[in-house]
Structures are given as C-alpha cells and as structure tokens.
C-alpha cells in the first residue's frame, strides 16, 4: 500500500492481520517525514482487543528509513491488561539497538494486570518503557480507551497521518486526523524570513519566520516566530503546535489530557526538517540527521537510545 494520505482503515480486520502497517510505504522523497499513527479498540467475548501503531518514514538525503511499530493488547472485561505483544516485524529508529523482544518483556512485566486507563501511573515518560515510540503508542492506546469509556463506547478507532515537506523558503506540514469517523485537517506553513542558524548538533538556534495555519481548509491564524536560541525556538514551536492542538480538541469535543495526537512530536519533526534544509555537507548529511534524531529522543550527553543492546 502506498501511504500518501490517511488510508482507509477496516477496524474489524486490524486484530487479525497487522500487515497493514508493515506493508504501507511512501516513496515520495519530497516528503521528508511521513507519520501514520492509530488505535483500534474492539470488543471481544473476553473483554477488549486494543491495537496501536505508529509508522514513521524518513527521507533525509541518504537516510531513508521506515520505523513501523505495532502493539496489541488484550484486556479483560474491566479493562485490565491481560497480554501485551509487540509485532515481531517492528523496527525502531536506532536499528539493531531497538530490541523489541526485550522491550515486550519489560512492558509486560510492568503493565500486565494494570487497568489500561491507569497506564500513566506505571508509565509516565519514555524512560519507563525505554523507548519513545513505544511510550507514544501505549499512551495513545490508554488515552483513546479512556475517551471511549467516557463516551460509553466499547469500540472505536482513530488514526492520524502527517507529512512534512520542505519548500523553497520554508516547510509545510499537513496532517489529517480521523476520530470515530470524524475527520479534520491542519496545514502549517512556515516561511523563513531569514535562514535559521544551526548550532550544536545542527539544530536550529534561531528562527525568524512567518507562520500561517489553515484548519479544515480555512485560514485559522497567522503569526511571526522570532527566536534567538534553541530553547526559544523549541518553546515557540511548542506554542504553535499547542494552538493547533487546542483547535483539534475543540473540534472533536475532547477534554483533558489526550495522548492520541502527534502534536507533541511535531516540534521535533519540524526541527529535523529545518536541519535537513540547512545542514552542510552532502555525503555526511544522513549521518548528521541521524545524530539529531538521537538527540531529540534522548537529549545531550546520553546514550543514543534508551533501548537494549546499544
């Protein structure tokens, strides 16, 4: 399947065949980043089957990488986790360092017996499960399951697709989110007034740009971003995507802490795209981008990954 937009999803088939995630590809190299994420909850005769996935596809110069991860859980009637499996075809962004057999054992020991809606009490941040992607998927599952319960629903699905591409003087991110059959679209266009200055680890340490946001095809808001250090760049991008997140939550009638959104990841993905546009070197570009990926997942001065075997 070519992944060039939010695909048609058949929730009834998800728990039987996970290939839909691993067989989805995007060969459009103008899209530097594609991310498809989703959650399906189904009622079973013993309780619930919950499937969560995230597939990221990166095209950064010589770095072409697919990162598909799928987690399936069975819950009892009360919503307590009975089993947790990570599909053996899953791959992390750190290659061999991502040992999902070990991560599955770790997550199982930590989470089996825990009500899914109380996942946050056992897993509050990525280090708790040693993997950022896994943390995002599990948090999304718990949050969506809680949302269904709050609406007295026992089944449902949500999925989200984002694509980020560079433009001549900026970048564009397009995202589509479908929750319980309702769909919205957000487009963020960032136009550089002056070229961002890259600093340590080749991350943007300045930003002077005009931003326009379209929501469901209509102009939503426009603003200027001015930042002169990395912390400020990060804060301003966080603010920007938080505003988009607010619109989405209002559109879908969601309240509280909802984790089945890519919004928190958007800052890192946009930073990667900015770096790609301005990082020097051709041959070494993929290597530099990979280092930025490591940083965004772990921070300065830490090991490249919190997984096993590295």
Partner 1 sequence: MEEKIKEILSEVSGVPLAELREDTRLVGDLGMSSFDLADTVVSVEESYGVKIPDERFGELETVADILRVIREENAL
**To the nearest whole angstrom, how small is the minimum distance from the Cβ of residue 164 to partner 1?**
17
**Of residues 251-280, those binding partner 1 (CB under 8 A):** 255-257, 263-264, 267
Q: Are β-strands 33-43 and 47-60 bridged in parallel, bridged antiparallel, or unpaired? A: antiparallel
Q: Name the residue nearer to partner 1 (CB basis): 8 or 200.
A: 200
Q: Name the residue nearer to partner 1 (CB basis): 234 or 278.
A: 234
Would you give the binding string for partner 1 spanning residues 205-234, x where CB under 8 A is met? ----------------------x---xx-x
Would you give the binding string for partner 1 spanning residues 90-129, x where CB under 8 A is met? ------------------------------x---xx----
The per-residue DSSP string of 268-307 comes to HHHHHHHHHHH---STTHHHHHHHHHHHHHH-TTS-S-SS
The only residue of 60, 241, 252, 295 in contact with partner 1, by rule CB under 8 A: 241
Please give the structure tokens belonging to residue 155. 């089944």
Q: Name the residue nearer to partner 1 (CB basis): 187 or 238.
A: 238
Residue 235 lies near partner 1 (rule: CB under 8 A): yes
Q: Name the residue nearer to partner 1 (CB basis): 176 or 238.
A: 238
**Of residues 6-65, those binding partner 1 (CB under 8 A):** none
Q: Name the residue nearer to partner 1 (CB basis): 84 or 240.
A: 240
Q: Which residues bind partner 1 (CB under 8 A)?
A: 120, 124-125, 227, 231-232, 234-236, 238-239, 241-243, 245-246, 255-257, 263-264, 267
């Amino acid at each position: 399947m070519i992944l060039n937009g939010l695909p048609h999803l058949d929730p009834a088939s998800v728990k039987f065949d996970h290939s839909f995630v691993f067989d989805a590809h995007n060969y459009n190299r103008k899209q530097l980043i594609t991310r498809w994420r989703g959650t399906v909850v189904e009622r079973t005769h013993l309780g619930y089957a919950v499937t969560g996935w995230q597939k990221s596809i990166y095209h950064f110069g010589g770095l072409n990488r697919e990162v598909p991860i799928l987690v399936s859980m069975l819950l009892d009637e009360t919503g307590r986790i009975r089993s947790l499996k990570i599909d053996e075809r899953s791959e992390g962004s750190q290659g061999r360092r991502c040992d999902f057999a070990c991560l599955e054992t770790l997550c199982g020991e930590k989470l089996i017996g825990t009500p899914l809606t109380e996942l946050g009490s056992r897993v509050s941040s990525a280090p708790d499960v040693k993997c950022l992607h896994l943390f995002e998927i599990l948090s999304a599952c718990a949050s969506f399951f809680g949302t269904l319960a709050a609406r007295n629903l026992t089944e449902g699905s949500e999925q989200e697709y984002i694509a980020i591409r560079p433009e001549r003087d900026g970048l564009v991110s397009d995202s589509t989110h479908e929750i319980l059959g309702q769909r919205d679209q957000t487009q963020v266009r960032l136009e550089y007034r002056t070229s961002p200055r890259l600093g340590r680890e080749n991350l943007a340490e300045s930003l002077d740009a005009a931003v326009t946001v379209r929501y469901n095809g209509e102009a939503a808001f426009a603003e200027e971003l001015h930042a002169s250090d990395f912390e400020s760049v990060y804060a301003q991008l966080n603010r920007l995507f938080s505003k988009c997140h607010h619109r989405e939550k209002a559109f879908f009638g969601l309240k509280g802490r909802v984790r089945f959104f890519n919004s928190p990841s958007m800052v890192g993905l946009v930073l990667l795209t900015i770096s790609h546009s301005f990082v020097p070197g051709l041959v070494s570009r993929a290597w530099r981008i990979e280092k930025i990926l490591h940083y965004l997942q772990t921070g300065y001065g830490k090991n490249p990954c919190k997984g096993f075997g590295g």
